[in-house]
């Protein structure tokens, strides 16, 4: 297949875009494409040591090794646009150093354009679907993610907003070692979130609730959301019981108007007000005024199914629910309608990427979480600032 062949040669920013799409932005893609993108998400290659040294010579100068008591050349983590090394300064500070692969920033526009060409092959997307705004937003986000100084700023901002949290801990930026292609921060010893799979139910519930609550705070309080829900970005510190938050490259500012629209949607949906729910969905962009009525009804029915766990007062059992399969089936039915050309705004799609990722996280942990009280707490603007830490 031409699509498979084309994707097999993509790297760098195109690989990152494949990760973005495979984490489910809300576009319902064919199964074959979803499988290919999932493989792309898991495909990360290390820089050879000589290439790493050349990059750091450029960023830090040729004498950079003298500044460290130890620098591990072999990375302990790697992703689509960079890899992470452990290092120790002479004063004993233990650091994690994220180094960007060379050429990533320069290839973003061409890589996304190449991906766009592949997505336009017959049979991949509905014939009238205009993905140009999404691709433009993907370029913008990828350029932002490739600026490690900007990520350092996001990390520092979230660290300040979560200061004093009993549930979360974030690395501290080491500004004197940061450049646009190198991000230096304190190393935090932690375990993968998957290490909690066999933990006591109460602990799994607590962690899932905290991460869901954090997503709500990002939307309704912070006005900024880290939109990459990859589980590798969330780790656990067994010594303190806190969640370690990593990777703040994909941070999106959320306009006050969008916050207000989502708050109105949450209120209407919790109360089962169908007409108000549809109006809020229209304002947010789930569908447009000229979207065919039966398409609007299909999209709203899918939303109503997704709201089922949020409407109930009792804890929702993510581990035993078949909701995700039901939504996937409904989504495929919508996506297979070749006459549906509407694409929601990019901001909405990436927000849903985070929400979907939180569902997958809670399902992975087999958590039981009462969602309605959490959402209700953020529907009232007068109480929103006092909510937090998922407790």
Q: Which of the residues are catalytic?
A: 228
User: How many residues are recorded in the chain?
Assistant: 391
- Tell which phi-psi region holds residue 298, choosing left (phi > 0), alpha (psi between -120 and 50) or beta: alpha
CA–CA distances in Å: residue 268 to residues 153, 207, 262, 271: 36, 28, 10, 5
* Residue 260: other Cβ atoms inside 10 A: 14
Which residues sit opposite 192 in a β-bridge?
Answer: 235
d(Cα 14, Cα 353) in Å, to the nearest integer? 18
The β-bridge partners of 184 are 97
Calculate helix-pair angle for 104-119, 132-145, nearest 10 degrees.
Answer: 160
Let me know: does 97 contact 87? Beta carbons within 8 Å: yes
Q: In 223-292, which ranges are continuous DSSP H helix? A: 256-271, 274-284
Contact 359, 328 (CB under 8 A): no
3-state DSSP helix/strand/coil percent for the chain, to nearest 5? 55, 15, 35
Give yes or no for a contact between 71 and 89, defined as CB atoms under 8 angstroms apart: no
């Amino acid at each position: 297949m031409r699509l498979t062949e084309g994707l097999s040669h993509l790297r760098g920013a195109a690989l990152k875009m494949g990760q973005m799409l495979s984490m489910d932005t809300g576009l319902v893609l064919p199964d074959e494409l979803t499988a290919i993108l999932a493989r792309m998400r898991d495909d990360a290659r290390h820089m050879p040591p000589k290439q790493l040294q050349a990059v750091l010579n450029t960023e830090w100068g040729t004498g950079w090794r003298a500044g460290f008591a130890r620098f591990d050349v072999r990375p302990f983590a790697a992703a689509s646009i960079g890899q992470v090394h452990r290092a120790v300064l002479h004063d004993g500070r233990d650091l994690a150093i994220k180094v960007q692969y060379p050429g990533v920033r320069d290839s973003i526009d061409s890589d996304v354009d190449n991906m766009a060409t592949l997505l336009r092959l017959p049979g991949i997307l509905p014939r009238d679907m205009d993905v140009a705004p999404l691709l433009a937003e993907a370029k913008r986000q990828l350029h932002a993610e490739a600026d490690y100084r900007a990520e350092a700023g996001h990390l520092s901002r979230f660290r300040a907003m979560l200061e004093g949290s009993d549930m979360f801990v974030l690395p501290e930026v080491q500004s004197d070692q940061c450049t646009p292609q190198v991000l230096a921060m304190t190393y935090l010893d932690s375990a993968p979130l998957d290490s909690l799979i066999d933990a006591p139910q109460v602990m799994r519930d607590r962690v899932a609730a905290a991460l869901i609550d954090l997503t709500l705070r990002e939307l309704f309080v912070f006005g900024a959301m880290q939109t990459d829900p990859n589980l590798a970005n969330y780790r656990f510190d067994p010594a303190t019981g806190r969640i370690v938050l990593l990777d703040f490259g994909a941070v999106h500012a959320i306009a006050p108007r969008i916050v207000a629209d989502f708050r109105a949607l949450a209120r209407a949906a919790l109360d089962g007000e169908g007409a108000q729910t549809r109006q809020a969905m229209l304002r947010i962009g789930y569908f447009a005024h000229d979207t065919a009525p039966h398409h609007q009804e299909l999209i709203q029915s899918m939303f109503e199914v997704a709201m089922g766990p949020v409407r109930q007062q009792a804890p929702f059992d993510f581990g035993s629910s078949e909701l995700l399969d039901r939504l996937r089936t409904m989504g495929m039915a919508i996506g297979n309608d070749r006459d549906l050309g509407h694409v929601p705004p990019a901001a909405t799609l990436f927000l849903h990427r985070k929400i979907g990722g939180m569902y997958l996280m809670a399902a992975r942990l087999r958590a039981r979480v009462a969602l309605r009280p959490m959402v209700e707490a953020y529907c009232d603007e007068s109480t929103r600032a006092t909510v937090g830490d998922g407790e």
